[in-house]
Structure 1
Amino acid sequence: MGEPIRVGIGGLGRSGYGIHAEYLKDDPDFRIVAAADELPERRKDAQERFGCRTYRSYAEMLAAGGFELFVNATPSRFHVEASLAGLKAGYHVLSEKPSATTLAEFDRITAAAEEHGVLFFPFQNSRFYPYFRKIREVIASGVLGEIICIRSNWSGFARRWDWQTLQRECAGNLLNTGPHPVDQAVVLFGDAYPEVFCRMAAYHFDFGGDADNFCALTLYGKGRPTIEVQVSSFLAYPQGEQYNIQGTCGGLSGGPAELRWKYFDPKSAPKHTLWKPWSFDRQYCSETLDWQEESWRFAEASSNANGFVSLSRGVYRNLYGVLRNGAGREITLEQVRRQIFVMEEAHRQNPLPVNE
């Protein structure tokens, strides 16, 4: 057992407190020794629950030191500046999503990490969903054949009137929820930068928001599957499962609780020759395939292992392995760079009016 990683958390809001601190307090390989938040009641809460030092700002906390990992859970518009400050001060940094909004910002962050001899970790906990790992396993097995199209829907009906509706806060569906499905999409797309087509819109009634709350995104490229991602706040009725995957030998459907897939073996399928010049005796093509069907169910359906706190385990256990044992990254910087590329291009294609 190595020394626990001493952690300073910047921001004790929904993420810093409700996800990161909630996980870290129970992992013996990490120790929360410092936390920063401008609200005194949050600082008092952190002192009582975690027995840590507290500060009014992450800058004060970075200056005081005494830890090696800075968890950047500040509001989204501060992510880039806070990550840069932590790296330049000599700390490893784990940043909440979005870790950046442009490639230029992301490249500045990774360059700063290299320059100062520390590591930068984007927080992409949805990579560790058990169902997503199973999807990757099924695709890698080859039973579905060549993957043609992947549809991923992360939508529901919800009206919002908080800071996540404001462009000036680096908010909106794509930058808030989007890093989860887009991270999964770039992994499934493979090691290449995709072509991007996107349509976004902002409908905030009379609440004053101006960031996107409808996003339909398509990734495509030669020799790659077409991947469609929708993140809408206006889906009153569910539209099928979260994932639907089409392959040349079968398909897969499902989501966090359950997956099912079916496929046939092309070697044992009926053989045909192309009818010429027209259909045979006015018939339609018809055949019987020997479908094989399989399913997977989340084994811990009664637990919160599909929740964000438990999903954090995958991120932090890999981070510990990297820092203490020289393990490889499960979430590579290049993968996240492609994610940032996709989201920046989506916003470039959809400039939305800004409310002053």
Structure 2
Amino acid sequence: MINVGVIGCGSIGVKRHIAEYSENKDVKLVAFCDRVLKRAEEQRTLYGGGAYKDYKELLADENVDAVSVCTPNYLHAEIAIAALEAGKHVLCEKPMGVTLKEMDAMIEAENRSDGQLMIGHNQRFVKEHEIAKEWIASGRLGRIYSFRTTFGHPGPEKWSVDGRDSWFFKEEEAAMGAMGDLGVHKADLIRFLLDEEVVEVGGLISKEDKDFSDVDDNAVCILRTESSAIGTLQASWSFYGAEDNSTVIYGEKGVLRLLNDEKYSFIFAGADGEVVKENYGGIQTNEDTGQSKSSQVMGRFISALEKDERVPVTAHDAKKSVQIILSAFESDRTHKIITGE
């Protein structure tokens, strides 16, 4: 049994982390923290344990084995490092951090500690994506030539507990907007699916839609991988209609469409005429809670701790996904293609 504390009891903390932990037989929720103490107390009423306003008080609770960090982006590194130093395992929401320096400090803190640090890139655990990775690795698509991946919805004001006043829209707390919220998911997914690094990044990033926001709401990036596959990544908080969370992979032997069709979440159209259409359940949306279409991020985290195995999304790995996003901002700022790995 793993005793878990959740730091940050907003929408993500409650609807994703706490909801999924509460359904896991190997978890006991024992502590909750939020800078709005009432939110932590509401969770304590439901699950028992302690309620705190200061995360340092939660970390001093010796009954806590592991924590989820579900706070504004600028606090991810500070809290994760403190938790590791306090002897806790850490599951941190994405983006891992907002600068290379602080992400390096997080990795160093994990190396010094007895705990593990996992980053919550849920798209890796979507069944459509797991099967697609197997197909690509086996050569079913042949050489990969191109791809496009998109994540867009109307924006956090539609579901954040604070609406338009949410930290998501404050540069000093979020650092990044749609790119940090959605783009980093897709950067990580492309790395996961293709099992290679992005070596060149071009980015066009804008803030045109939300006049109450300090951060970006639309971005289109061009990426080149190690094998010279080229593709696009789009992130938007301005998709006023159906959410788009799709990815299309163009290979030598056909085209694979993931979460790109209302009826079939996995479609392969082969160059030889073969057609495969499957529906594996799709991806969890902001309307889903707990394990309904669950990403299983929390389940994978707990399973690794219970089995004394390495967590499936390490900090060292997740840092590379954030690097792509940071390179996109640099590209937009300098009007140059940024070369990485």
Give TM-score, length-normalised by structure 2.
Answer: 0.85
Tell me the residue number matched to 1:269.
Answer: none
Instruction: Show the counterpart of 1:143.
Output: 140
**1:158-177 superposed matches below 5 A:** 160=157, 161=164, 162-170=166-174, 171-177=176-182
What is the deviation of 1:73?
1.2
Report the CA distance shift for 1:234/1:18 in structure 2 as closer, same or farther (over 3 A): closer
Residues 40 and 51, structure 2, Cα contact 8 Å, conserved in 1: yes
TM-superposed CA distance for 1:163, in Å, is 2.7
Structure 2: distance between partners of 1:312 and 1:69? 20
Alignment of 1:296 with 2:303, yes or no, is no
- Partner residue in 1 for 2:339: none
Q: CA deviation at 1:45?
A: 1.2
Q: Structure 1 residues 70 and 158 mapped into 2: Cα distance closer, same or farther (>3 Å)?
A: closer
Return closer, same or farther for 1:99/1:191 CA change in 2, 3 Å cut-off.
Answer: same
- Residue 72 (structure 1) aligned with residue 72 (structure 2): no
Structure 2 unmatched runs, 5+? 158-163, 335-341
| 3-state SS of 1:253 partner | strand
Deviation at 1:333, TM superposition (A): 3.2
1:104: Cα distance to partner? 1.8
> CA distance change for structure 1 residues 312 and 82 in 2, over 3 Å: closer, same or farther?
farther
Note the 1:237-316 alignment, pairs <5 A: 242-255=246-259, 257-264=264-271, 290-298=272-280, 300=281, 307=288, 309-310=290-291, 314-316=296-298
CA displacement, residues 174-225 of structure 1 (integer Å, 9 cap, x when unaligned): 1112222121012134233421111101114532x12110111222034242
Answer whether contact 2:305 2:311 (CA < 8 A) is retained. no
Query: Residue 6 in 1 paired to residue 39 in 2?
Result: no
Q: What secondary structure sits across from 1:223 in the alignment?
A: coil
Distance 1:8 1:198 in 2: 37
Q: Which has the larger radius of gyration?
A: 1
TM-score (norm 1): 0.81
- Report the more deviating stretch, 169-178 or 326-335: 326-335
Return the letter of the residue paired with 1:93: V
Aligned partner of 2:102 among 98, 105, 113: 105
Q: Deviations over 1:285-335 (max 9, x none)?
A: xxxxx411111112x479989946336663233323322223343223333
Check the 8 A contact 2:182/2:236 in 1, yes or no: no
Q: Name 2:38's counterpart in structure 1.
A: 41
Distance in 2, matches of 1:40 and 1:110, equals 30
Q: Which amino acid aligns with 2:61?
A: A
Please give the alpha-carbon distance, in whole angstroms, between the structure 2 residues aligned to 1:302 and 1:96. 17
Matched letter for residue 5 of structure 1:
I
Distance across 1 between alignment mates of 2:79 and 2:239: 35
Matched, 1:225 2:222: no
Residues of 2 paired with 1:93 and 1:255: CA distance? 30
Q: What one-letter code is carried by the residue in structure 2 that aligns with 1:66?
A: N
| Residue 200 of structure 2, aligned match among 183, 195, 200 | 195
Q: Distance in 2 between matches of 1:337 and 1:79?
A: 13
| 1:81-127 deviations in Å (ceiling 9; x for gaps) | 11111111121111111111122211110111111222111111121
Question: What is residue 212 of structure 1 aligned with on the other side?
Answer: 216
Matched residue pairs, number? 322
Matched residue, 1:29: 26
Aligned mates of 2:9, 2:225 — CA distance in 1:
41
Q: Does 1:83 align with 2:90?
A: no
How far apart, in 1, do the equivalents of 2:39 and 2:127 lie?
33
Distance 2:74 2:282 in 1: 35
Q: SS in structure 2 opposite 1:199?
A: strand
Q: 1:51 to 1:120 in 2, by over 3 A?
A: same
Distance 1:232 1:74, change over 3 A: closer
Gaps of 5+ in 1: 265-289
Q: C-alpha deviations, 1:7-64, integer Å up to 9, x for none? A: 1111111111111111111111011111112324313311211011111111111123
Greater relative CO (CA pairs within 8 A, separation 6+): 2
CA–CA distance in structure 1, aligned partners of residues 80 and 232 of structure 2: 31
Conservation of the 8 A alpha-carbon contact between 1:183 and 1:339: yes
What is the root-mean-square deviation of aligned Cα atoms in Å?
2.8
Q: Which residue is 1:327 aligned to? A: 309
Superposed displacement of residue 254, structure 1 = 3.6
Task: Please name the residue that 1:267 is paired with.
Answer: none
